[in-house]
Amino acid sequence: MIRIKTLTQRHLDKHLRGVPAGTADANSDYSDRRLMQKAIKYVAMSFVFVVAITVVSMGVNWASTGFEKLFTYKHNALKADLEASIHNSFTEVAPSASAKQENSAQEATALPMLTGPPLVSPSPSNFIKKPPQEPLAQMSVKITPEEQTVLVKKNEEKKLPIASLTKLMTALVVLENIDLNQQVIITKEAVAQEGEQGGLKLGQVLSVRALLYIMLIDSSNRAAYQLAEVLGIDQFIVTMNVEAQKLGLYNTRFSDATGLDKDSYSTAADLVKLSRYLFEKYPLFKEIIGLKEYSLYLSDGTFHHTLKNTNQLLGSRHIIGGKTGFTEAALGCFMVFQTPNESEPEKYVINIILGSEDRFGDMEKLIQNHSN
């Protein structure tokens, strides 16, 4: 009864205001529903937004953690490999069975997800340089007017290639068979020889004497070949071997005048004999090999260049002269003369090194050895 009365009263009031009955109630209900829908929509959108932000944040965090683990693993693996390589470089002890098992276990537990080329351990040779081997042959002999005394010897009778020590015999053949004042024109065959020592050019004119200086100081292959051409290459080589037999160099054979041919060979003992003969019989030879530098002139008086001796030990340790040599086949070869007592120049020492990886260092060791 109360509700009927209320509704009747509301109809009456709206009728009196000129508003049709039921219109206000309908509008009020419609507004309430619209408001409720908007509220639900905003709540749903907020929820979706929060969920999306959460998912993205979790994804970024997961990816970051995954990459960090991956790079940490690779870094640790590389570091472990490097440390192991360095350790192995300084120890030559073979790995034990337990160490091998440990390495196998580490490989078995490696992450299967990692792919690509394996990490390469640095070679021990990058950390440790092997010391050079000892010379293949060496000999030191003390010479006096009365006697000859062997101070040091090693494989002194072993036949070995001797590189530019061949030029000792080339010098002997020139000194005994060719006029030193003879003028020579440099040929294309001489210029074609390996090495630019001496700076010889096609068509230049020099004396035999000048070529001898170039050959013994600069160790020029071109000068040696040009000197051989004076007699003719074949005849010159024949003469070299004849001279070797005269001197009793029975373990020596020459196949060229330069020392480039690996078929030429000699021994430390034979080279001592050859060096002594040149040193004592030919003052010019002794003079040339004792020069650190020499100003060279062409036959027309034009300055050519300054020759610089290849003997780096000249002037030290009482060394008064010598001859160097090197080829891939012969390695380093070296002969020096010493006069331990300057007041007694007739007493001297001949030192020979053959097959050396460090000819100057090995020569210093040889001299130190017999000087003690």
pTM of the complete model: 0.66
Q: Max Cα separation, the chain?
A: 162
Angle CA 136–309–175, to nearest 5: 85
The pLDDT assigned to 93 comes to 39
Question: 295-352: per-residue pLDDT in tens?
Answer: 999 989 999 999 999 999 999 999 999 999 999 999 999 999 999 887 888 899 999 9
Q: Do 207 and 345 belong together in one domain?
A: yes
Name the helix (H) or strand (E) containing 326: strand 319-327
Q: Do 170 and 313 belong together in one domain?
A: yes
Domain, as residue range, for 304: 137-371
Q: Do 44 and 182 belong together in one domain?
A: no
Mean pLDDT of 258-275: 97
Residue 323 is assigned to a ligand binding site: yes
Q: Specify if 364 maps to a domain.
A: yes
Residue 126 dihedral angles phi and psi, to the nearest 5°:
-75, -15
The token pair that represents 32 in the structure block: 């309430």
Q: Do 68 and 145 belong together in one domain?
A: no
Q: Specify if 111 maps to a domain.
A: no
Q: Do 80 and 169 belong together in one domain?
A: no
- SS3 state at 141: strand
Q: Do 210 and 328 belong together in one domain?
A: yes
Residue 112 pLDDT level (bands cut at 50, 70, 90): very low
Q: Specify if 105 maps to a domain.
A: no
Considering the chain, what percentage of its residues have pLDDT values greater than 90? 60
Residue positions annotated with a catalytic role: 164, 167, 219
Q: Do 29 and 174 belong together in one domain?
A: no
Q: Do 78 and 142 belong together in one domain?
A: no
Q: Residue 332 and residue 310: Cα distance in Å, rounded?
A: 12
Q: Specify if 113 maps to a domain.
A: no
Q: Specify if 334 maps to a domain.
A: yes
Contact 219, 207 (CB under 8 A): no
The DSSP call for residue 331 is E
The pLDDT assigned to 341 comes to 82
Residue 22 pLDDT level (bands cut at 50, 70, 90): very low
Tally of domains in the chain: 2
Highest averaged pLDDT of the listed ranges 5-9, 120-124, 329-333: 329-333
Q: Do 37 and 169 belong together in one domain?
A: no
Q: Tell me the pLDDT of the chain averaged across its residues.
A: 81
Mean pLDDT of 247-264: 96
CATH code at position 176 = 3.40.710.10
Contact 260, 248 (CB under 8 A): no
Q: Residue 47 and residue 56: Cα distance in Å, rounded?
A: 14
Alpha carbon of residue 363 to chain centroid: 23
Residue at a domain's end among 84, 102, 123? 84
The token pair that represents 65 in the structure block: 């953690």
Residue at a domain's end among 42, 64, 84? 84
What is the Cβ-side half-sphere exposure of residue 257, based on CA atoms within 13 angstroms? Answer: 31
Q: Do 173 and 69 belong together in one domain?
A: no
Which residue, chain included where needed, has tokens 């000892």?
Answer: 134
What value does the CA radius of gyration of the chain take, rounded to a whole number of Å? 48
Residue at a domain's end among 84, 101, 122? 84
Q: Specify if 104 maps to a domain.
A: no
The pLDDT assigned to 335 comes to 98
Q: Residue 370 and residue 367: Cα distance in Å, rounded?
A: 6
Q: Do 79 and 141 belong together in one domain?
A: no
Q: Which of the pair, 297 or 104, is modelled with greater confidence?
A: 297
Q: Do 80 and 141 belong together in one domain?
A: no
Q: Specify if 288 maps to a domain.
A: yes
Q: Specify if 74 maps to a domain.
A: yes
